[in-house]
Amino acid sequence: MKEVYLGIAIGIVTFAYFMNVNLLPIIMVGGLLYLLYNFITNQGLLRTNSIGTLVRVPQEDFSSIGGQNTAISELKEALDFILDSDKIEKMGIRPLKGLLLTGPPGTGKTLLAKAAANYTDSVFIATSGSEFIEVYAGVGAQRVRKLFQSARDKAKAEKKRSAIIFIDEIDILGAKRGTHESHMEYDQTLNQLLVEMDGINVNDEVKILVLAATNRPDMLDPALLRPGRFDRQVRVDLPDKDGRLQILKIHVKNKPLAEDVDLEAIARETFGFSGAHLESLTNEAAIIAMRNNSDKITQKDFLQAIDKVIMGEKIDRKPTPEELYRIAVHEAGHAIVSELVEKGSVANLTIVPRGNAMGFLRQAPKEDKYIYTREQLEKQIMICLAGSVAEKVIIGNKSTGAGNDFEKAVELAKEIIFSGLSSLGIISKDDISPKKINDEVTKIIGALERKTTELLTDNHFIIHKVVNVLKEKETISGEELRSILNGT
């Protein structure tokens, strides 16, 4: 098209030249029109047809998604309304128009949406909430209309009975109206989305289902969440231990594993990892094995990869001998108290600097925990305080290296208070004074610091043993630490 316009322009200029017409005004007007066209295009006013990315039928299916059995079950139930549309119509059931996938980043919301399209043999169009928002009012609303129309047209062209529209980060598009006082474009775009979803009918030639994803459902407009629009919310949460094991098995299918690899142990040591974290973990383990010129990935490679995913790459910063000794004492304190209050809890201990940490302790709980007693929270506070206390017991003073530990200890103490487990009893977080909270935090941490000091003072000789091994080897596994504690 550009070539056609260029040819016409050259023809007009040539004709005007032979007719002795002054070309200067024509060139100036043409230049202004060209600049105006570029400005409008760059601002997005002519890009309404390009909204969304078309994937006819995604290759992903539910069998390739691990750790989300509950979410898959809920999603399949809703998708059966598309597959059994004739039966649904006979029963007079209103079709589900929208499903909202909520949960932390990296848990597989986009994969679930693609698998849903595969499951129903639907045309799949993916877009993001940010694609609808422009400076000029009305552009976003026009793009929403184009998106739904494009879904219908593509389904007909592909001879499909259904289409799935996936909107990622819908909180950008569907935020509560009135929160953008100086920008009515947001509200107009949301209003158009509501209108389009209301227009979805059971008798439509192409059945449309809107899937959306967000990790901030609290930001969405209530009109978007009411029945008849997003009828259901499907929670896509972090996987439990069994879920993590499923995900690991999926991601190691194309990787050569050594005989010593224990995926169940890796799943146990990766509490809090999302599916994206686990995929990165298996990839990093393969990279480490390749660096070591190994043909297979070993358990040691996986354990190093866990540290890298959590803390980042090793850094070149080298502490002085005095600092290295203090770091070793600090980390030994954490590890010894962790083992004494909860046997078998230490997975790895190192003084190798990674990211912003000069050393760290990685714990491996025997089972995932989601609720805690006061005693369990107190044990975690003692572990947080143990590094600083060990410095005081062995070296005679403390350092700034415990700043993050203290922040975590305060958070845990506040969790005790706000859960009604402290001496204050059940309280209102909004009505209690900050001074009362601070006094109770000080009281809790002070008592636990004294208890931790007694524990490490009684075991100061073990601290020296662990420190000597750390200085020599830099890293100690949980099994090695337990051997030192048992004197073997």
* pLDDT at 56 exceeding the cut of 60: no
| Side chain identity at residue 99, one-letter code | L
Predicted local distance difference test score (pLDDT) of residue 44:
40
Task: Indicate the average pLDDT of the chain.
Answer: 83
Tell me the C-alpha distance between 22 and 309, whole Å. 69
* Chain length of the chain: 488
In this structure, which amino acid lies at residue 216?
Answer: R
Neighbours of 322 (CB within 10 A): 9
Give the model's pLDDT for residue 182: 47
Residues annotated as catalytic (active site), given as ranges: 331
For the chain, what percent of residues have pLDDT higher than 70?
Answer: 84
- 289-347 per-position pLDDT tens digit: 999 999 999 999 998 899 888 877 777 677 888 989 999 999 999 999 999 999 888 88
Model confidence at 46, pLDDT cuts 50, 70, 90, reads very low
pLDDT of residue 7: 64
pLDDT in tens, 190-230: 888 888 888 877 677 888 889 999 988 888 888 888 888 88
Span between the terminal Cα atoms of the chain, in Å: 81
At 429 the pLDDT is 87
Please identify which residue in the block is written with the tokens 């098995």: 249
Q: What is the pLDDT of residues 446-474, one digit of tens each?
A: 999 999 999 999 999 999 999 999 988 88
CATH architecture observed for domain 241-311: Orthogonal Bundle (1.10)
Say if residue 417's pLDDT is above 80: yes
Q: How far apart are CA 270 and CA 288, in angstroms?
A: 18
- Give the residue among 337, 444, 441, 323 at the shortest CA–CA distance from 384: 337
For Cα atoms 177, 136, 27, give the angle at the middle one, nearest 5 degrees: 180
- pLDDT value of position 388: 95
Q: Mean pLDDT throughout 463-486?
A: 89
Question: Which residue bears the tokens 């046997």?
Answer: 343
**C-alpha neighbours within 13 Å on the C-beta side of residue 254:** 3
Write down the CATH number for the domain with range 49-235: 3.40.50.300
- Which tokens is 266 given? 């890796």
Rounded Cα distance, 160 and 207, in Å: 9
Residue 70 has pLDDT above 80, yes or no: yes
Residue 425 zone, left/alpha/beta (φ > 0; ψ -120 to 50; rest): left
Q: How confident is the model at residue 436 (pLDDT cuts 50, 70, 90)?
A: very high
Binned at pLDDT 50, 70 and 90, residue 487 comes out as: confident
pLDDT recorded at residue 93: 74
Superfamily of domain 321-485: Peptidase M41 (1.20.58.760)
Confidence of residue 86 (pLDDT cuts 50, 70, 90): confident
pLDDT at 183 over 60: no
| pLDDT score, position 419 | 93
- Domains of the chain, by residue range, sit at 2-42, 49-235, 241-311, 321-485
The answer, yes or no, to whether residue 371 has pLDDT greater than 80, is: yes
Measured between alpha carbons, how far is 148 from 196 in angstroms, rounded to an integer? 7
